[in-house]
């Protein structure tokens, strides 16, 4: 059967808050890399960032995180060769 008018209105109002049926855009996740940095595991953090950059190569946040770790913690200003 069809939806009642109340269901249609409720779905539209609810969509204003939860986005409705629209799928979220994929984004890189750097929480594991951040945790590795806090533990002092900088090389492992770089591997995590690199795995995210493999999926999202133009993500500036990941590139900046990687540069910061290399410069501040690994004394590698040149980066990977």
Give percent helix, percent strand, percent coil of the chain, each to the nearest 5. 60, 0, 40
pLDDT at 3: 75
Calpha distance 49→35 (Å, rounded): 12
pLDDT at 2: 64
Mean residue pLDDT across the chain: 87
Residue 31 sits in which domain range?
Answer: 24-81
Residue 18 lies in a domain: no
* Domain total in the chain: 1
**pTM as predicted:** 0.68
Residue 71 lies in a domain: yes
Kindly state the DSSP code that residue 77 receives in the 8-state scheme.
S
Question: pLDDT tens-digit profile of 19-41?
Answer: 777 777 889 999 999 999 999 99
**Confidence band (pLDDT; 50, 70, 90) for 81?**
low
Residue 64 lies in a domain: yes
Residue 62 lies in a domain: yes
Closest Cα to residue 73, out of 28, 34, 32? 34
Q: Which one of 24-33, 41-50, 66-75 scores highest in mean pLDDT?
A: 41-50
58 half-sphere exposure, CB direction, 13 A CA radius:
0
Residue 69 lies in a domain: yes
Q: CATH number of the domain that 64 lies in?
A: 1.25.40
């Amino acid at each position: 059967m069809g939806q009642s008018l109340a269901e249609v209105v409720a779905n539209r109002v609810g969509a204003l808050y939860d986005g409705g049926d629209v799928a979220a855009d994929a984004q890189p996740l750097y929480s594991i890399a951040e945790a590795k940095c806090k533990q002092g595991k900088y090389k492992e953090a770089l591997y995590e960032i690199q795995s995210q950059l493999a999926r999202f190569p133009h993500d500036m946040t990941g590139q900046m995180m990687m540069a910061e770790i290399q410069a501040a913690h690994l004394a590698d200003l040149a980066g990977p060769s």
